[in-house]
A and B are shown apart, each in its own frame.
Chain A
Amino acid sequence: MTDLILFKNIDEPGLATLDVYRARGGYGDRLRKALSMPRDGLVEELKASGLRGRGGAGFSMGTKASFMPKGQMDKYLVCNADESEPGTFKDRELMQKCPHMLLEGMIIAAYAAGATRAFIYIRGEYQQQADILERAIAEAKAAGLLGDRILGFDVNLELWLHRGAGAYICGEETALLDSLEGKRGNPRLKPPFPANQGLYQGPTLINNVETLATLPHIVEMGAGEYAKIGVENSTGTKLISISGHVMKPGNYEIELGMSSRDIIYGLAGGPGEGRSVKLWFPGGSSSPVLTGDDLDIPYDFNSMAKAGTMLGSGAIIVVDDQTSVVDVALKTAQFYRHESCGKCTPCREGTNWTVKMLERIKSGEATPMDLDLMASVCENIIGNCLCVLGDAMAMPVGSMVKKFRGEFEEYIEAARERAERELIASITPSVEVAA
C-alpha cells in the first residue's frame, strides 16, 4: 500500500482552516509551480498523470481539460459536489475536513481550463459541509487566494458556492448545469458537450470534488510519480466508500488495483461472523451487482469493466446472505423512479413500470414469466435514454434478475402461496386455513 495522498492528515484537528492547511503545504510551492507552468504544459501534465474522473464516468481529467477551446470568451469551471449516488460519501469527507484542498485544486483546474469563474454545486442536503466550505472560501478570498491576481500571477478566479435542493439527477453534469442556471435539473442533449457549450452556453469544465482535490498532489509529485501508483489505465489512489453489511463502514483511500476481497474483508471487516457476502455493488447503486464469487477481482476501472460492471464513484455496498434480493431490487428501482427527471420516455415510464412489476412480485401477483418481461423492459431502457439514469436502474436490476433468477422464482412462488392463503382466509373467514 502506497502512502496516503488525499487522506494524509485528514483527521488532524483544524485542517479545515487556512492556517493548518497552509502549514501542511497547502497553497504553497505546488500552487506556485502550477500557476507558473504554461497552460498547455499543465494540461499535458494532467493528461500524463492518467487521472480519471472520480465522479463515476471515469473519463481522463486531462483530456477533458484539453477539450476546452482557446480564445477570449467566458469560460467556467464547475465542481460537481452533488454527491448523491447511493453508497457514496467520500466527497463529503473531503469537503468537511479539508475544504481548502478542493479550492486549491479548483484554482489549478481553472487555470488549466482558462476559466475565470467557478462554481461549486453542492447538494442541498450537505448543509454542514456547505457552511464549512463557505468559511473556507471566505478565508481564501480574504487571503487573496481567490479573486484577482492569485499569488501575484496573472490568474483570476471568482468562485461561488451554489447549493442544490435535493435531486439525484443533478449529479449528471448537464442536469447540474441546468440546475445551476436556475432551472429544473433536466439533462441536456449531448452534443453539444459542456466543453463547447456548457454553463450559460460558455465552455465549461466540470469535475468531481475528489478529482479536483487530487490536482495539487499531482502537481506536487509530478505526473510521472503519480502515474506510478495504481495499475495501467487506473492510476493513483482512490477514495472508496464502503457501507451496508460490513463491520467497519467508512471512507478509505486505496491504491487502484487492490483486491476487492482485501477491501471488503480486510479494510471494512466483512459482513461479520456467520454471514457471507451475497451480492455487492462495486461502484454505487448504479453499477451492475457482483456476487460473493467475484471478490477476487482487482478493484480498478478495467477489471470492473471486464466483469461487466463499473468502478463508478467507488462506492461499495455490501449485502449479506440474510437479505432478500427482491427487496434490494425494489429499493433500487424505487430510488431511480423517484429520481427520474421525467424528461425522456424510457426512463420515466420504464422505472415506473419496473417498480410496479417488483411490487407485484412482492405482493404475490407475479409469475416467473414476469421476470422475462422485467428483463425485457430493462433491455428496452438501456441505451435508449437521454442520459444514463435509466440505464442506472436497468443495469443493476437487470443484473440482479440475471444472477439471482432462482431466488426470484422461489420468492414469486412463496409470495403467491402466501397471497393465496390470505385470499382464501379473507373470503372464508370461518374456515381455519392451514398455514
Chain B
Amino acid sequence: MPRPELKEITFTIDGREVKAPENMILVDAAKHGDVDIPVFCYEPKLGAPVGACRMCLVEIEGIPKLQTGCSTPVKDGMVVHTATDRVKEAQQAVVEFLLINHPLDCPVCDKGGECPLQDISFGWGGGKTRFIEPKRHFQKPLELSPLIAIDRERCILCYRCVRFSQELSEDYQLILHERGAATFVGTFDGHPYVAPFSGNIIELCPVGALTSRPYRFRARPWDIEGSGSVCALCPGQCNVTFTVRDDRVLRVLARENEGVDDGWLCDRGRFAYQAIHVDERITTPLFRDGGVLRPVSWERALDEAASLLKKAGPRVGALAGGGTTNEEGFLLQRLMREVIGSQHLDASGVNPDDLWTLLDPELQATVPDLEFAHTVLVLGTEPVDDMPIIDLRIRKGVRRNRVKLAVATPRPSSLDANAELSLRYAPGGEGALVAALTAAVYGGDVVAPAEAAGADADAVRALAELLRTGGGDAPGDVVIVWGTSMLQTDGGAVAPALLKLTAGLNVRGREGAGLLAVPASANERGLLEAGVAPGMAPGFGEVPEGEAYHVEGIAAALRAGDLTALYLMHEDPLRDRPGSAGWDHALEKTTAVIAHAQFLSPGLEAHANVIFPAESYAEKEGTITHTDGRVQRLRPAIGRQGETRAEWWILGELAKRLGSDLGVLTGAMASKQLFDAVPFYKGLTLDAIGGKGLRWPADPDAVAAYPVPPESRRDSGYEAVPTPNGRLRLGTFRSIWASSEVEASPALKFLAPRQQVEMAPADARRLGVRHGEKVLVGSGGDGTTVEATVTLRDAALPGSVFLQTGITNNAANVLDGPLVEIRKA
C-alpha cells in the first residue's frame, strides 16, 4: 500500500504551541516541543500501542479522564498538559505500583546506569514507597536461552518482549503464563527461546529482566564507549553500535536505520562479535615452511608472497569472499589487472552481465519498499537465512499494510504462513519457473515450463494473477525479492526471463517497485561494482579483450595447470563454493595459495602457502554496498588485533614488491580511488556517506552514469529438472547459523548447524526412513556421501531433498547432484 501523506498541525503542550504531523502519537509529537512523556510499554517499532503500563498518562483539555499519550494521535488545536498536579499524581502512582515488586538490586544489575526504570523513577517518581510488605522473591537469574538470562523479580510486565516475539518476529515462542499479578514471561514447557531475532528482546527490555548472557557483568555503562559502524556478516548490512571497553568489543546494539534494518538485529549480528576476540583467530602472518604453517614477520610474509606471485607471472587467479570491502576489492583488481596482468578474478561466481542487467537502478527497489508495496514476491530465496533482517521487513509489510505476499521457493519457506500464495518448484528449476511465470503474465504456454520446473501450472497462473492485479486492476507496486544464487543454476536462463517478467509487471522506473536482490554474500554488489568480476572493470567498465575466468573457470584452469597461483581474500573455496571435490583437486595442483583470513579453515590449513591475518569487521575501514545500492561506511571500533594490519596496505605492499605503486597511503585514499573509478560513485565522499549511508540509485546523476547493460544476450531457454526415477533431486540451503563466525563464537557455537536432510513424508515412507534417523546421502558415482539426520517436512515437495551448505563438517557441496540416493547409515 502506498505510503501515507503527512499533514502538519499545531497543538499546545504545557503552554507551548508545537507543530507536528497530524495523527502522530502524542508521546512522539511532544518531543517536537521538547517535552518528555515517560513510557515503558510504548515502542513504536512494536506496532500499535497497547496502553498497558499507564506511565504516559496526560491531561487533554475536553476529555475528563487522563489519557495515555502513547495511544493518542495529535490533532490540530489539541491542548495537552503533562505537568499538572493531577498528571504528576498519576505518574507517581504508576511508578510506585511498578516498584512494589521490583527488587531495587540496581547495584548488581547489568542494566544499572542505562535503565529506563531508574531514569523514570528519578524523573517522575515520588521518591518514596509506602509498600511495606515483603517483595516477591524468585530464583535468579535463570536461563531463557543460552544467550539470554531472565530475572523475573525485575520484570515490570511491560509486555515488550512477548510482543516482539509474537507480533514482530512472529516466532510466537515467548509467552505470558498465568494472568494478573501472577503473570510471568516464559516459554512452552521449558523449551528455550531460540530464534533468529531473539536477542532484540534484551535491547527492548526497559529493566534488567532480560540480559545478554555473554555481556553480563562485563562492563558498566560508564566503562564503555559506543562506536557506530555496519555489520558486515551478511548482505543485510544492518547498522550497529559496538560497545567497546578497553579496546574489546563486548556487545553489539542495533543502530536504527530505517532504510536498512528498521532498528533490529539478528542474533548472528548481535552475538558473533565474540569471534573477534577468540584465540583461534589468525593474528600474525603465516608462511608454509617445510609443509607447516608458521608465524613469520610481515617482511618475510610479504616477500614470500611477492616472490610466489612473481614466479606465477600472469597465471594467477583471485577470489574475494563476502567480507571484502569495496576498497579491498578495488585494490585487489588493480593488483591483478594492472600489476600481475591477470583477468581471472571473481567474487559472486555468477555471470556479471546478469547482475549488471538486474541491478539496473531503474529496476531497483529499496528495503522500505517492502513495507509499502502492493505485492511482494519472494523468489528463490529464504530471507531469514540469506538476509535475515528483511524477513522482519516483509512480515511488517504484510502485518501493518496488508502487503500481498507470494512465495516461490523450492524449499518450504518460513514466510509461507504469511503468504497469500506459496508455490514450490524443484531445485534447479529456477529458469523454467521464471519462464512459466513470465508466460503466465504475458500469455503463453505455461504448462511446459511449469512441468520443466516441477511446479504446478495452476499455482503458477494464480501467482501471475496475483502479481498482475496486486494494485486492483493493475500490478501496482510489485517488489520481487530474488536470490542471486538462482543465477548459478540452469545455465543462465533466469536473468533474461526475470528481466522480461519485470517488463510485464511495469516496474521499470517506478517508485516503490522493482527488484531487490538477495546476494549470496555480504558485499556481493559492492565487489561487482568495484570490478571484482571476470571481464568487468570497476563500474561495469570494459577490460582488454581476452579470456577471463569466473569461479568455476578458475578451478578448472588451476586443475589444468593453466593457472598456478591463487589469491584468496576472505575465502575458502572448499567451504564456500559448490563442487568442493573439484576445488580440492584444484588446490592440490596449485603451486601458490595466498590468503587473507581470520580463521584457519580446512582448505587453507591444507593448501595455503602464505596467510595474511585479516581484519574483523569491527577493525575495518572502508565502504560496502548494500543490495539496494546504499554505500555504507565501516568505521574501526577497536584497534587491529595482534599484528593484524590494514588489508589495503597489504595489497599496496605486494604491488610495490612487484614493481608498481598503487598510490594508497591511507584507507581514505583507497576510498577516493574507488569513488573516482566507478562512474556512479562519482562525487561520493566518506563524509557524505556518514552514519546512515547513501543510496547512489537515488541520485539522478549517478543513475545517468550507470552504463547501459547489454541487450538481452541469450534466449530465455530453460532446462527441465531431471526426473528422479527412484532417486531424489538435491537442493541445498545455507542456514543463518552456517558461518565461521558462529562456529568461532563461544556463545553462538551451540547454534552451528548439523547436517540434516529435509524431505517429504511420502519419500521417507518409500525409503523406509523415519524422522530423526541417520542416513547417508550420496550422488552415486564416486561413492562420496554425506551423513545427515532425516527431518520430515509436511510442506516439502516430494521427489526433492535439501541439505545444508556452508557448514564445516558434512557440507552438501561435496555432492555433485543433481540427483542423489539415500540409504540408512
0/1 per residue, A332-354, Cβ < 8 Å to B?
Answer: 00000111111111101111110
Is there an interface contact between A384 and B94, defined as CB atoms closer than 8 Å? yes
Among A184, A189, A360, A385: residue with most chain B CB under 10 A: A189
- Could you tell me if B179 and A189 are in contact, using CB atoms closer than 8 angstroms? no
Chain A residues in 8 Å Cβ range of B65: 383
Q: Which residues of B contact A151 (CB under 8 A)?
A: none
Shortest Cβ distance from B96 into A: residue: A380
The reply to whether the CB of B180 lies closer than 8 angstroms to some CB of chain A is yes
Looking at the assembled complex, report how far the CB atom of B67 sits from the nearest CB atom of chain A, in whole angstroms. Answer: 10
Distance to closest chain B CB from A250 (angstroms): 32
A67 and B71 CA atoms in complex are apart in Å by 22
Q: Would you call A356 an interface residue if the criterion is a C-beta within 8 Å of the partner chain's C-beta atoms? A: yes
Which residues of A are found within 8 Å of B176, using beta-carbon distances?
184, 342
Per-residue interface assignment for chain B, residues 63 to 82, with 1 indicating a CB less than 8 Å from any chain A CB and 0 otherwise: 00110100100000000000
Residues of chain B lying within 8 A (CB to CB) of residue A380? 89-90, 93, 96-97
- Name which of B89, B97, B159 has the most chain A CB atoms within 10 A of its CB: B97
Q: Are the C-beta atoms of B157 and A348 separated by less than 8 Å?
A: yes
B21 close to A (CB within 8 Å): no
| Contact among B55, B178, B180 for A351, CB-based, below 8 A | B180
Alpha-carbon distance between A357 and B133 when the two chains are bound, in angstroms: 8
Q: Are A346 and B51 CB-contacts (below 8 A) given A184-B179, A337-B181, A384-B90? A: no
Q: Is B57 an interface residue (CB 8 A)?
A: yes
* Contact A346–B66 (Cβ < 8 Å): no
B90-119, CB under 8 A of A: which get 1 and which 0?
100110111011000000000000000000
- A116 to nearest B CB, angstroms? 22
Q: Is the CB of B52 within 8 A of A338?
A: no
Q: Does B53 contact A (CB under 8 A)?
A: yes
A376–B93 alpha-carbon span in the complex (Å): 10
User: Once the chains are docked, how many angstroms separate the CA of A184 from the CA of B130?
Assistant: 32
Residues 126-170 of B, flagged 1 when their CB comes within 8 A of A and 0 if not, give 000011010000000000000000000000110100000000000
Chain A residue contacts of B159, Cβ below 8 A: 343
* Complex interface: chain B residues within 8 A of A384 (CB): 54, 57, 66, 90, 93-94
Given contacts A189-B68, A384-B57, A384-B94, contact A345 B52 (CB under 8 A): yes
Q: How far is the CA of A352 from the CA of B52 in the complex (A)?
A: 17
Most buried by B among A167, A338, A342: A342
CB distance from A342 to the nearest CB of B (A): 4
Residue B50 CB within 8 A of the other chain: yes
CB-CB under 8 A from B601, the residues of chain A are none
CA distance in complex: A386, B71 (Å): 11
Interface size on B, residues (CB 8 A): 34
In the complex, whether A373 has a CB less than 8 A from a CB of chain B is yes
Contacts of B156 in A (CB 8 A): 345
With a cutoff of 8 Å between Cβ atoms, the chain B residues found around residue A352 in the complex are 100, 180-181
Main secondary structure of the interface of A (DSSP, over half): helix
B6 on interface, CB distance cutoff 8 Å: no
Contact between B97 and A343 (Cβ–Cβ < 8 Å)? no
Chain A residues, Cβ within 8 Å of B93: 346, 380, 384
Q: Which of B51, B90, B181 has the most A CB atoms < 10 Å from its CB?
A: B181
CB neighbours (8 Å) of A189 from chain B are: 49-51, 68, 71
Question: Does B183 count as interface, using CB distance less than 8 angstroms?
Answer: yes
Least Cβ distance of A31 to chain B in Å? 38
Interface residues of A in 379-399 (CB under 8 A from B): 380, 383-386
Residues of B within 8 A of A184 (CB): 176, 179
- A337 surroundings in chain B (CB, below 8 A): 180-181
Contact yes or no, B131 A344, CB < 8 A:
no
Interface contact A344-B180, CB-CB below 8 Å: no
Determine the chain A residues whose CB is within 8 A of the CB of B98 once the complex forms: 345, 349
- What is the bound-complex CA distance between A223 and B348, given in angstroms? 78
Residue among A349, A350, A376, A385 with max Cβ neighbours from chain B (10 Å) = A349
Whether A346 contacts B97 by the Cβ 8 Å rule is yes
Most buried by A among B157, B180, B181: B180
Provide the bound-state CA to CA distance between A14 and B181, in Å: 45
Please name all residues of chain B whose beta carbon is closer than 8 Å to the beta carbon of A348 when the two chains form the complex. 97, 157, 180-181, 183
B53 in complex: contacting residue of A339, A341, A344, A360, CB < 8 Å: A344
Report the bound CA distance from A201 to B71 in whole Å: 17
- Does B417 belong to the interface (CB within 8 Å)? no
* Contact indicator B180/A342 (Cβ below 8 Å): yes
Specify which chain B residues have a CB less than 8 angstroms from the CB of A343 in the assembled complex: 50, 52, 159
Does B182 lie at the interface of the complex (its beta carbon under 8 Å from any beta carbon of A)? yes
Contacts of B51 in A (CB 8 A): 189, 344, 386
CA distance A19 to B101 in the complex (A): 59
Task: Give, as a whole number of angstroms, the nearest-CB distance from A82 to chain B.
Answer: 15
Tell me, in angstroms, the Cα distance from A184 to B54 when the chains sit together.
20
The B-contacting residues of A in range 289-339, CB under 8 angstroms, are: 337-339
A380 to B180, CA, bound (A): 18
Output the nearest chain B residue to A386 by Cβ-Cβ distance. Answer: B51
Contact A385 B54, CB 8 Å, known A343-B159, A345-B97: yes
Most buried by B among A339, A352, A360: A352
Chain A 344-375: CB-based contact to B (< 8 A → 1; otherwise 0): 11101111110011001000000000000100
Kindly provide the distance from the CB of A382 to the nearest chain B CB, expressed in whole angstroms.
Answer: 10
- Cross-chain contact A386 with B181 (CB below 8 angstroms): no
Write the chain B residue with the least CB distance to A343: B52
| B54 engages A341 (CB within 8 Å) | no
* Given contacts A346-B93, A349-B98, A360-B133, A386 and B52 within 8 Å (CB-CB): yes
Which residues from chain B contact A340 at a C-beta distance below 8 Å? 179-181
Q: Which residues of A contact B130 (CB under 8 A)?
A: 373, 376
**Whole-angstrom distance between the Cβ of A375 and the nearest chain B Cβ:** 12
Q: A383: which B residues are within 8 A, CB to CB?
A: 65-66
Contact call B49/A344, Cβ cutoff below 8 A: no
8 Å CB contact of A345 from B53, B71, B133, B178: B53
Choice from A344, A356, A373 contacting B52 with Cβ under 8 Å? A344
Q: A339 to chain B: which residues have CB within 8 Å? A: 180
* Closest beta carbon of chain B to A175's beta carbon, Å: 11
In the bound assembly, the distance between CA atoms of A172 and B180 in angstroms comes to 15
Closest-CB distance, B182 to chain A (whole angstroms): 7
Complex CA–CA separation, A346 to B55 (angstroms): 10
Provide the residues of chain B in CB contact with A357, threshold 8 Å. 133
Task: Determine which of B66, B68, B100 lies in contact with A353 in the assembled complex, contact meaning CB atoms within 8 Å.
Answer: B100
Considering the chains assembled together, what is the distance between the CA atoms of A385 and B180 in angstroms?
13
Of A167, A348, A350, A357, which is in contact with the most chain B CB atoms at under 10 Å from its CB?
A348
Contact B54 A356 (CB under 8 A): no
Is A351 a contact partner of B181 (Cβ separation < 8 A)? Answer: yes
What residues of B have a CB within 8 angstroms of the CB of A346 in the complex?
54, 93-94, 97
Q: Closest Cβ of chain A: how far from B452's Cβ, in Å? A: 42
* Nearest residue, chain A, Cβ from B40: A345
Contact check, B68 vs A356: say whether CB atoms are below 8 A apart.
no
Residue picked from A339, A384, A385, most chain B C-beta under 10 Å: A384
Q: B156's closest neighbor in chain A, by CB? A: A345
Q: Is the CB of A386 within 8 A of B54?
A: yes
* Measured CA separation A337–B130 after assembly (Å): 19
Q: Do A356 and B90 have beta carbons less than 8 Å apart?
A: no
B529 to chain A, nearest CB (A): 45
Q: How close is B56's CB to chain A, nearest CB, in angstroms?
A: 11
Bound together, the chains give a CA A339 to CA B183 distance in angstroms of 12
Residues of chain B from 396 to 416 with CB closer than 8 A to chain A in the complex = none
Q: Given A340-B180, A341-B179, A343-B159, answer yes or no on A353-B52 (Cβ-Cβ < 8 Å).
A: no
Closest A residue to B55 by CB, please name it: A345
Chain A residue nearest to B70 (CB atoms) is: A189
Q: Are A356 and B179 in contact (CB under 8 A)?
A: no
Known contacts A351-B181, A352-B100, A384-B66, then 16 further A-B pairs from the complex at CB < 8 Å, ordered by chain A residue: A189-B49, A337-B180, A337-B181, A341-B180, A342-B176, A342-B181, A345-B98, A345-B157, A350-B97, A352-B181, A353-B131, A353-B133, A373-B130, A383-B66, A384-B54, A384-B94
A-B CB contact pairs (8 Å), 9 listed:
A337-B180, A342-B182, A342-B183, A345-B55, A346-B97, A348-B180, A350-B97, A353-B100, A385-B54
Kindly list the 5 A-B residue pairs having the minimum CB-CB distance in the complex, ordered from nearest: A380-B93, A349-B97, A342-B183, A340-B180, A352-B181
